[in-house]
Amino acid sequence: MARDDNSQMLKGILQGCLLILLARKEQYGYAISESLNLFGFENVPKGTIYPLLMTMEKKGLLTSHMRPSPDGPSRKYYTITADGEKARQTFILQWHDLKSHVDQIIANQPRRD
């Protein structure tokens, strides 16, 4: 999904997607990337995900902890915080609103208030 022509739009949406995924279960960076792949975000570079996770952690939306891995070095697992849950809920409401407006434009159906 992520191509140069829509990368700016994607950056604004990716944080909300990460909050949704992490609300379902805690994950480490590579597993988050794999989860995104399952939903069609296979072209999102790892170099986009990790800085975003760090920024979200600094904002208090996520916490992290190291956990030993059976496959090698310890992994950093991310968990959504209460503030992250509020941000997730806000994102979902804003997304539904935005999607509705864009769908109306695509269908050429103005609102009738």
- Alpha-helix runs per DSSP H in the chain: 7-24, 29-38, 46-58, 82-107
Residues 6+ apart with CB under 8 A from 27: 21, 35, 77, 78
Q: Quick: pLDDT tens for 41-83.
A: 988 887 889 999 999 999 999 999 999 988 889 999 999 999 9
Q: pTM value? A: 0.85
Q: Which residues pair with 69 in a beta bridge?
A: 72
Q: Quick: pLDDT tens for 32-43.
A: 999 999 999 988
Separation between Cα atoms, residue 84 and residue 41, nearest integer Å: 21
Confidence of residue 12 (pLDDT cuts 50, 70, 90): confident
Separation between Cα atoms, residue 21 and residue 63, nearest integer Å: 14
